[in-house]
Amino acid sequence: MNQQCKVAIVGYGGMGGHHADHLLELEAFDVAGIRDIRDSQQDLARNKGLHVYAELEDVLADETVDVVLIATPNHIHKEIAVKAMRAGKDVICEKPATMNSREMEEIIEVEKETGRRFVVNQNRRWDEDYLVVKKLHDEQTIGEIFNVECRVHGSRGIPGDWRQQKEFGGGMLLDWGVHLVDRVLLMFNEKVSHVYCKLNHVRNNEVDDGFKMTLTFESGRTAFLEVGTYNYINLPLWYVNGTRGSAVIHDWSMKGEVVHLETDEQKDAVPITAGAGLTKTMAPRRDDGTVRHLPLPRVDSHINEFYLNVKESIEGTADILVKNEEVLQVMRLLEAAFESDASGQTVAIENKVGV
């Protein structure tokens, strides 16, 4: 590889442009150019001083290109990735890497065959909200976490492009679900035993415009994952329960708090009026020192770590952070989620090979 890693971007839409902006910030990378079938995007790239390749074949024939970055609609990820690796290029691919687990298995086979590197941009592993929850989990700040809830809510529906169409790999389960499942698997680091999922079709019958999914792990711990695109009042981004406390993150601005159980000493609760009755069970804790309110911890991170890790892994100086076995596991679990929705039943994972 050159001292600088030269990257050609195939698909110069929102994410392709986003990648270009990040790569241009890094001295370790150089953007060799872009390839996009749309004249508007070609003009946009030229206006930013970027080279425009006339055809994909021109990208693959350019011996100065080290890495092909794929940011196209999902249905052609595999085709481009296979061509790029067989042309001697390493590949960074937008998520979801493929339309299904079989396509991902084929990519892994070609990766082994060619000796090239295929890496998926699971960029939301670098989101601070997730990293804060993972820190609470790893450090057992609120004891052992037994349930996490992560909700991503918006009110604008699916973007008015290919994401609304099944043939292109549209829908929120493939768009956001791939992130939410990936992160909770990485955090809990244990096998899933059961998946239950219900897809929403509020205004789109072709693909899901939201979903609710519950993952049950072998230990009995659970994760509830939800995406909604017609939510006009958002629920918290994260709600986390541990054996010694709870935590909440309201939104990406990192507003939230941690409540820690200080002592197991039982102090009698004062009943409160709840609707038409009384309750001691649900009475709030008094200011009696049994719990302590803490600010959320903060975690510094930047997505540029992803790009630099890819370069270092290609050069053999670092292990890759986003492993293809992890990506394949996520794809298989998403397939179980689709199966659950179709059947209306919880899907047991023990018979799913490799999950």
> How confident is the model at residue 352, as a pLDDT?
54
Same fold, 5-121 and 135-297+333-348: no
What CATH topology corresponds to 5-121? Rossmann fold (3.40.50)
> How confident is the model at residue 10, as a pLDDT?
98
Q: In the predicted model, what is the mean pLDDT of residues 304-318? A: 96
Does the pLDDT at position 353 exceed 70? no
Q: In the predicted model, what is the mean pLDDT of residues 174-187? A: 98
Residue 280's alpha-carbon distances to 261, 263, 272, in angstroms, are 18, 19, 7
Pick from 153-167, 275-289, 323-337 the range whose average pLDDT is largest. Answer: 323-337
Neighbours of 344 (CB within 10 A): 8
Q: In the predicted model, what is the mean pLDDT of residues 63-81? A: 97
Which position has the higher pLDDT, 353 or 185?
185
Q: In the predicted model, what is the mean pLDDT of residues 321-342? A: 98
Q: In the predicted model, what is the mean pLDDT of residues 264-289? A: 86
What CATH topology corresponds to 135-297+333-348? Dihydrodipicolinate Reductase; domain 2 (3.30.360)
What contacts 45, CB < 8 A, 6 or more positions away?
12, 33, 34, 36, 51, 52
Binned at pLDDT 50, 70 and 90, residue 285 comes out as confident
> How confident is the model at residue 1, as a pLDDT?
52
Residue 281's alpha-carbon distances to 274, 285, 309, in angstroms, are 11, 10, 50
Q: What is the pLDDT of residues 37-50, one digit of tens each?
A: 999 999 999 999 99
> How confident is the model at residue 350, as a pLDDT?
78
> How confident is the model at residue 262, as a pLDDT?
93
Percent of the chain, pLDDT > 70? 98
Name the token pair of 97.
């890497």
Q: In the predicted model, what is the mean pLDDT of residues 70-97? A: 98
What contacts 268, CB < 8 A, 6 or more positions away?
280
Count Cα neighbours of 199 within 13 Å in the Cβ-side half-sphere: 24
Name the token pair of 226.
């939800």
Which position has the higher pLDDT, 43 or 353?
43
Strand order in the sheet with 238-242: 291-294, 256-261, 245-249, 238-242, 145-153, 222-228, 210-217, 192-200, 347-348
Domain ranges of the chain: 5-121, 135-297+333-348
> How confident is the model at residue 351, as a pLDDT?
54
Please give the Cα distance from 19 to 264 (Å, whole number).
Answer: 50
**Contact present, 177 and 152 (Cβ < 8 Å):** no
Please give the Cα distance from 11 to 79 (Å, whole number).
Answer: 14
Please give the Cα distance from 329 to 123 (Å, whole number).
Answer: 17
DSSP 287: S
Residue 92 β-bridge partners? 69, 119
Burial per residue of 80-117, b for 16 or more beta-carbon CB atoms within 10 angstroms, e otherwise:
bbbbbbebebbbbbbbbbbbbbebbeebbebbeebebb
Does the pLDDT at position 286 exceed 60? yes
Does the pLDDT at position 2 exceed 70? no
Q: What is the pLDDT of residues 224-269, one digit of tens each?
A: 999 999 999 999 999 999 999 999 999 999 999 999 999 988 777 8
Binned at pLDDT 50, 70 and 90, residue 355 comes out as low
Q: In the predicted model, what is the mean pLDDT of residues 89-100? A: 98
Does the pLDDT at position 320 exceed 60? yes
Does the pLDDT at position 354 exceed 90? no
